[in-house]
């Protein structure tokens, strides 16, 4: 759609017609020699004397003038091409996924959609892939932890990149242990850089803390004070013992302290259901901004104006050249 930035200026096109209509004609006075025999001279030559007037402009000249003025007026009004609107969803929530990559995550006690036995991590990847596909309106970040916690992806709205990085995760790539408290502490530092008020951490693990610098419950208290909600998701066998034991009590305490929820998943279906439920807990307000790009077109009428003036100028030069040639031919004869 074409519109004008200053449509009111289009009315200037009528200005020449208004001036011609209402302004008085120009009348000039020049000195001349009065001849006593002027009347006899006009009778002999057959010329009928009239009042002095300027030569009337030709139709072509008038068309060029009016068209040139019209093109200038259109350029002044700034024609613009309004393109299709571009709509963008503004993130309203920061969602951080903290995933345990300790050695026990390679235990094959889960089944995928095809019914094949897969590792706990593979099942988590499959479920998170579906979960990330529905994250419109969220900024998502990734934290992996094992013997240490590290940022795999800061908050981003590029969910495809986030999913690719999740797919590349491998068991023990962060070490064989489970530093649960350090993972929460790192997550808090990531949220400190966020301006959004709605902050949610989904913490997934299949074990217990094995010596973090900050105890998980202490880290949870700090998160609570900063307005961070932590949902804890436990996977695996609750009857496991030793370093692979599932510390449900600590996970429940973490979620309770931060007004989150604790979940346990023994299979893929339960894990998928947990993420669906988490998605329904916090209502996301999808804010959108819309913008219609504008392409300036004022250069087009200006270009046509210049071309028109140049063509008319060359046409006049051609006429003058022909007139001169004819005069030379007559003089030679």
Residues 181-198: tens digit of each pLDDT: 999 999 999 999 988 888
The verdict on residue 248 lying in a domain is yes
Residues 177 and 325 in one domain: no
- CATH code for the domain of 111: 3.40.50.410
Q: How far is CA 196 from the centre of its chain?
A: 20
CA-based R_g, the chain, Å: 42
The verdict on residue 35 lying in a domain is no
Residues 274 and 206 in one domain: yes
Residues 215 and 121 in one domain: yes
Structure tokens at 287: 């804010």
Count of CB atoms within 10 A of residue 151's CB? 15
Mean pLDDT by 10 residues, the chain (333 residues): 90 86 70 68 66 62 88 93 78 86 86 84 88 83 93 91 92 90 95 88 87 91 95 80 74 93 85 81 62 89 93 87 73 58
The span from the CA of 114 to the CA of 128, in Å, is 17
Share the mean pLDDT of the chain. Answer: 84
Among 286, 178, 157, 278, smallest CA distance to 229 is for 278
Residues 8 and 98 in one domain: no
DSSP H or E segment with residue 45: helix 38-45
pTM score? 0.63
Structure tokens at 146: 């094992």
When divided into structural domains, the chain yields a total of 2
Among 291, 303, 309, smallest CA distance to 79 is for 303
- Structure-token match 């700090």, residue found: 222
Residues 318 and 226 in one domain: no
The residue segments making up the domain with residue 130 are: 88-289
Residues 278 and 319 in one domain: no
């Amino acid at each position: 759609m074409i519109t004008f930035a200053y449509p009111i200026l289009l009315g200037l096109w009528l200005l020449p017609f208004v001036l011609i209509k209402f302004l008085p004609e120009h009348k000039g006075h020049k000195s001349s020699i009065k001849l006593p025999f002027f009347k006899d001279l006009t009778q002999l030559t057959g010329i009928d004397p009239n009042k002095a007037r300027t030569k009337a402009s030709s139709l072509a000249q008038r068309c060029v003038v009016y068209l040139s003025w019209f093109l200038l007026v259109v350029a002044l009004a700034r024609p613009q091409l309004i393109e299709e609107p571009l709509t963008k969803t503004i993130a309203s929530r920061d969602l951080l996924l903290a995933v345990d990559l300790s050695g026990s995550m390679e235990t094959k006690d889960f089944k995928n959609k095809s019914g094949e036995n897969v590792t706990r991590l593979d099942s988590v990847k499959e479920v998170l892939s579906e979960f990330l596909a529905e994250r419109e309106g969220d900024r998502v970040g990734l934290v992996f932890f094992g013997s240490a916690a590290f940022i795999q992806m800061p908050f981003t709205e590029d969910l495809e990149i986030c999913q690719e990085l999740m797919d590349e995760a491998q068991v023990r790539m962060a070490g064989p242990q489970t530093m649960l408290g350090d993972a929460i502490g790192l997550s808090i530092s990531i949220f400190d850089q966020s301006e959004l008020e709605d902050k949610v951490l989904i913490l997934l693990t299949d074990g217990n803390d094995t010596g973090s610098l900050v105890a998980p419950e202490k880290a949870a208290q700090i998160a609570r004070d900063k307005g961070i909600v932590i949902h804890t998701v436990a996977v695996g066998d609750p009857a496991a013992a030793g370093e692979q034991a599932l510390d449900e009590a600590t996970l429940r305490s973490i979620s309770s302290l931060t007004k989150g929820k604790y979940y346990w998943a023994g299979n893929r279906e339960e894990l998928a259901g947990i993420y669906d439920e988490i998605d329904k807990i916090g209502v996301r307000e999808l804010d959108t901004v819309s913008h219609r790009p504008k392409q300036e077109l004022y250069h087009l009428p200006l270009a046509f104006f210049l071309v028109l003036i140049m063509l008319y100028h060359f046409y006049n030069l051609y006429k003058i050249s022909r007139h001169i040639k004819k005069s030379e031919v007559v003089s030679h004869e």
